[in-house]
Amino acid sequence: MAGCSSASSLPCICIASCLCSCTFSIRYHHIMEDNAPILEAMEEAESVIVPAAAMILDETAQTFTSTLCETFPPLTLPTPLQPLFSTPNTLISPLFVLAVIMMFLSLLFAQKFGRSPLQQLGQVGPRGRKYHSWNESTTGGCGGRFIDWWIFGGSVWIRAALCLWDGMAGTHSFDGDHHHQESSGENLFACFGVVGSKSEKNAAAGEDKKQSEGTTHDHLVHAGSSTGILGFDSSLGGFGPICLAPIRASVFLLAWCSVCSFLKITYNELVDFSTKLAVPATSGQFQQIPSTMYRDEIGNVVASILHFIQDVMNIGSNLVEKKSDALGDAWLPTIAYAIAFITVLECGMYLIGNVCMLLKIYLPMGVSHPGGARPHKIVRTPQWTEGKEHFLSRHLLTGDGNSDSDDTGKSGALSSKWRCAVAHDSHRDTIAKFNYIKTKGDDVSSSFMTGEPFGRQIWTLDEAQPSTDEEVSEDVMEKTLKRELVPNLKEKTKNEEKTEDNNIFGPLSPIGGLVQNIFSFDKDNESHKEKSKQDETTKLIETMASGGRKPMGFDPSKNPNSCDQIFRAQMISSYLEKNDGKFPEDIAYLQDEGEKGEANPAKTATEAAKRGIAFYSLLQSTDGHWAGDYGGPHFLLPGLVVSWYVMGCPSVMISPPQQALMLHYFKVHQQADGGWGTHIESPSTMFGTVICYLAARLLGAHKDEDWIKSGRDFIQKEGGAVMTSSWAKFWLCLVGCMDWKGHNSVPPEMWLLPNWFPFHPGRMWCHCRMVYLPMGYLYGSRFIYSQAETDPLIEELRNELYCEPYDSIEWDRTRHLVASMDNYSPIPTFMKFAQNCLSVYENWKIFRPFRDAIRKAGIDFCLEYMRAEDLQTNFIDIGPVNKALNMVSAFHSANNDINDPAVRSHMMRVPDYLWVAEDGMKMNGYNGSQCWDTSFAIQAVWECGLLDRFPVMSAKVWAFLERTQILSTECSQSTPAYQYESCDSRDKFYRHVSKGGWPFSTSAHGWPISDCTGEGLKGVLALMDSPVVMDGVKRGILKDIGPRRLYDAVNVILTLQNEDGGWATYENNRGFGWYEELNPSEVFGDIMIDYSYVECSMASLTALADFHEKFPDHRKNEVTFAIKRGAEFMKSIQRKDGSWYGSWACCFCYGCWFGIEGLIKSGESASSPAIQKCCQYLISKQRANGGWGEDFTSCYDKDYAANGMQNYGDDGSGVVNTAWALMALSAAKCNDVEAIRKGVRYLMSRQLDCGDWPQEGIAGVFNRACGITYTAYRNVFPIWALGRCVATYGDNIDKDPKILATKSQN
């Protein structure tokens, strides 16, 4: 019984301390500094109550354990095994305890010295480890292979089940004439470095250029061949843990005997020392020492040590000396039993791991299942002032002034001086703006534009800068492609260009040059006919760019989505000037004199697709990508504005013309009730309103302006800014408009938790953790705008934002306040309790010494992590929120020095996020969607069978995709980001392998995503079917994307597959479903971990399938098995009604397309129940006009929008949703041909004369509740759907079969 009671004492004391801390957590918040006597009295009472409570709980625990031990007496064990479990003096033998502890310590040691294996426990996919060799120290400072084996062997069972499930190890494949030894699981030999040493040594030395080109394959181990950290012997396969367990048990016993021998010697020395201190001891025995013998401190220390050693030595000394009274003749049987015990223990854990995995995979409702419809649906709708159309004034379009008073003036898109600069042009513009000249010895990581320029897009008022000799201009590349790939297209000579100076298509600048010609021509020398022609061309361009709306008009009551009129007008004019003023053949009718102004609808679906591609080709940028508006959320731009303001309002970051455009954006998106929504189609929320109001005031809007008054009335009507959500409160704290006590704690020391800790920030979804990382730094530093107390504007805002005097607010009581309109994801009760505990931690003086000591370390790590993120992304950062926060953090760490190199590098990347459209200047939800949109677009053209009909367009896409593959080009590998691709850096900063993946936006962004990698890979594979493109590659006109690079992409996809068989976004699922109980954000749902999604799973699965068709021998078993598992996952998350929930667009039509296509590509029969059920579901949602329609409420409510796209579509239907539905049905070869025909007719009827389609409701969504704009979707997906329907059902799919029969008879 003594063992039971002593074991319970420590936990009881811990429990008592926790309870007492909770008991007194409330009282502190109501005690101010001037109540010192009360505070002292309470602390004195606490010092009495805590020990008393501990004593009561200890006695209770002793009684409980005593009763438990009497009720369940110890089992009778075999005599030889008894010393292993118990001794005469203790309930449990120290040997048994240490055997269990050894298992646990092996995990801790692996965590300390290995490559962070424990952070994978919540995930399954390996993190892309590569280049194992003898030259690589796989255990940090330890470095030895034996230490690797010992440390990882102790915890090998954790990963063994995964290895077994992933198809065992030691598979082989052949690539041409070269043999590859591979492992789909964790390979212990790879840790030893006995596989692939030759090629890996070259790779370690940076000599893998030949490998990347596919020319060196001897004993090559692919990047994913040994991708994990914990391992098992591939020659033993799944039996590795079982075979290795006895060996570890034997080594453990030998080590324990050595420890016992050491303890005996130490004991004797201490006995001798105690004798000198007059401690009586009987010679030859371990004397029991009276507890009251010593009064001095040295005596107490000696006594404690002796007591400890005595407890441990009881069996240890007998094992060493083999005394007969303890073991008798059973020495060998005891050792055998010990080995058997540890072996059984490890095997049991191994089997439990397998069982848990099987249960997790085959349970019908996994953590990644999005669930059913929400019980509480959104009922509020946005309220707009009807019929109020906004136009950008000439001042705003030209940047000549910041006045927006001319709101009713109508200026055409071509009158804008704002231009979209891309690629090298954008880099030159930024460098010139910052007056930076690179000199020898400069630190390019912090002072210069790094990363691939392809894909970058910024808006500027400055004219294009001339290219340098060392750069290859994208315009030159475009001309070369035209000359080489289209022989009959002759380039103009310089003399020809000089003769056309006064012509509408004379020597114009790449973008916007036509504008100069139109508005700066010499009227005295221009004939009336030529001027009329120019006016007609201008009108035609602006009409084509308007998307079926009034040119440059913006009426949010009709549609709050922009249709990119300024950008599209400039791209169309740029195309005309480069092509002798002629449109592509398929839309040349637009310039025919006899057909101007007359409707000219396409006659067949194929013709409609050709027109769509021809129009979309006009919008392609010189570097090969398609740009577009990726705005929508209202909370992004205000964060940037706050950052700009607290950094001293540097004009190089946000210029006065930009401020004016931003104010226009806020003004036109304000709703009739005075508020702003969380996004452009959202009803007004306190989150959107407070933060937009704050930004408008900081940008210069006066408090007495009517629209500002209206916004202030909305805020105060809803209870003031204390009722907004936590993210808005954070920005208020930064600028000094809210006390930090009003915001819940974001402790930076959370990052110091060991990686094996169940809740670790490194396990969270990357977007979530990369936002709360700088939040932790700024909160821990208590950053406040340095002029907050003296700035009169901040004083005004403190009075405007609240319903009571600022100084009278009890901030701590406002931490959990939030308006119901913001409360999409209510803070769980447990999280509120945790936040209250953290409030105690932040405010109680008793924790201050510990907090001050540990916080500095946490802040330092956050700063180091943010620096790594900045360099890995070339200062773009993963998204706009952490971009702004990282920038403020860099500013603070530089002691508010705006000229610090890191701060300047941050400001140079701010334009990457800004976009100009007819509704003003906004902040995109990313630095664009370039790679995503372009990959989809080229697949659409491929499925239409028209790649070579548009050869220059296709070749430019190939060039773009080649330059966009992450860390795969010479330019990207010369950046600091490439240095962070090492195993140590990835594990330290929680990054998955990046090399070989494709991004959502640009290579410089640096974050690969599973579905973007899949779509990028499919785009490349599609272009391989183009003879023109492949001829360009063969002739050296285009750079090759060799097999090695495709293998890297496949490796990224394979390593991103989760244990449930699905794919998440950026990383494997590292966390657990209960993480959502700790979600601190009220406005977003399911943000804590990276779930598996149907979209990511389909994109990854189909990419593997397409790759396998062209490269059937590369990692054959892994690829086919991954496809099979992916299909099983997709079926597991299908709803009972047959649908799939789309998490990244609106919504069920989108999810159904991904679901059906993924299953079809995985080999599922079109007649399977899963596919047929989904087809029936889609058919049931088709509207009377033949189309399909949804809005963002489908995502918000997780239920199909009952009225379709009623607000911003066409009688409830939309072209994008219709295209998704048709793509799904035609992939399944749906036998309801009439439904397909009606859908095709609908798309054709909605096509505009120029080949464009109208911009309708918002298409994208993220985090369940926030919509985001994809202006490219209205072009890409109708083209794709028409091409697929024609390929499946024939070109007469749009025709009535009765009419066709009549024509056939005639």
10-residue averages of pLDDT along the chain (1306 residues): 33 34 34 46 52 56 51 46 48 53 52 38 30 27 34 39 36 34 31 31 37 33 30 36 51 54 56 52 44 43 53 48 44 57 59 54 56 76 84 81 50 80 92 66 52 94 71 77 72 42 40 43 58 83 90 90 93 92 92 67 93 96 94 95 96 94 95 94 94 96 95 95 94 96 94 85 92 96 95 96 94 92 86 90 88 92 96 95 96 95 95 95 95 97 96 96 95 92 88 94 96 97 96 93 96 91 90 84 86 94 96 93 93 93 92 96 94 96 94 88 88 95 96 94 95 92 86 96 94 70 47
CA distance linking residue 264 with residue 319, whole number of Å: 12
218 assigned to active site: no
Gyration radius from the chain CA atoms:
34
Report the alpha-carbon angle 783-786-789, nearest 5.
Answer: 110
CA distance linking residue 790 with residue 446, whole number of Å: 33
CB atoms within 10 A of CB 490: 11
SS3 content of the chain, % helix, strand, coil (to 5): 55, 5, 40
- Show the DSSP H helices in 632-735 as ranges: 636-646, 656-668, 686-698, 706-717, 726-735
CA distance linking residue 10 with residue 564, whole number of Å: 66
CA distance linking residue 1011 with residue 935, whole number of Å: 11
CB atoms within 10 A of CB 328: 14
CA distance linking residue 70 with residue 63, whole number of Å: 11
Token couple for 914: 């800004």
Contact 818, 724 (CB under 8 A): yes
Judged by phi (left if over 0) then psi (alpha if -120 to 50, else beta), residue 874 lies in left
CA distance linking residue 224 with residue 1089, whole number of Å: 24
CB atoms within 10 A of CB 464: 19
State the DSSP code for 1294: T
CA distance linking residue 825 with residue 727, whole number of Å: 13
What does the CA dihedral 577, 578, 580, 583 come to, rounded to 10 degrees? -90
What is residue 1060's predicted lDDT score, i.e. its pLDDT? 83
CA distance linking residue 1243 with residue 1293, whole number of Å: 12
Token couple for 1217: 């949703």
CA distance linking residue 853 with residue 918, whole number of Å: 52
State the DSSP code for 591: G
Verify cis geometry, omega within 30 degrees of 0, for the bond prior to 1250. Answer: no
User: Hey, what long-range contacts does 397-404 have (CB within 8 A, 24 or more apart)?
Assistant: 399/461, 399/657, 401/660, 402/656, 402/657, 402/659, 402/660, 402/700, 403/660, 404/660, 404/663, 404/664, 404/667
Contact 175, 1113 (CB under 8 A): yes
- Show the DSSP H helices in 680-806 as ranges: 686-698, 706-717, 726-735, 766-781, 792-800
CA distance linking residue 940 with residue 1220, whole number of Å: 12
CA distance linking residue 485 with residue 473, whole number of Å: 18
Report the alpha-carbon angle 1058-1063-1067, nearest 5.
Answer: 75
What is residue 1082's predicted lDDT score, i.e. its pLDDT? 86
Could you give the 3-state DSSP secondary structure of residue 278?
Answer: coil
**Is the full-model pTM beyond 0.85?**
no
CA distance linking residue 1149 with residue 1220, whole number of Å: 6
Tell me phi and psi for residue 258, to 5 degrees.
Answer: -65, -40
CA distance linking residue 500 with residue 504, whole number of Å: 8
Residues in Cβ contact with 112 at an 8 Å cutoff, skipping those fewer than 6 apart: none
State the DSSP code for 703: T
The full length of the chain comes to 1306
Could you give the 3-state DSSP secondary structure of residue 458?
Answer: strand
Bridge partners of 173, per DSSP, are 180
Candidates 987, 1011, 1106, 1249; catalytic one: 1011
Tell me phi and psi for residue 187, to 5 degrees.
Answer: -105, 115
Verify cis geometry, omega within 30 degrees of 0, for the bond prior to 1195. Answer: no
Spell 1037-1069 as b/e; 16+ CB within 10 A means b: bbeebebbbbbbbbbbbbbbbbbbbbbbbbbbb
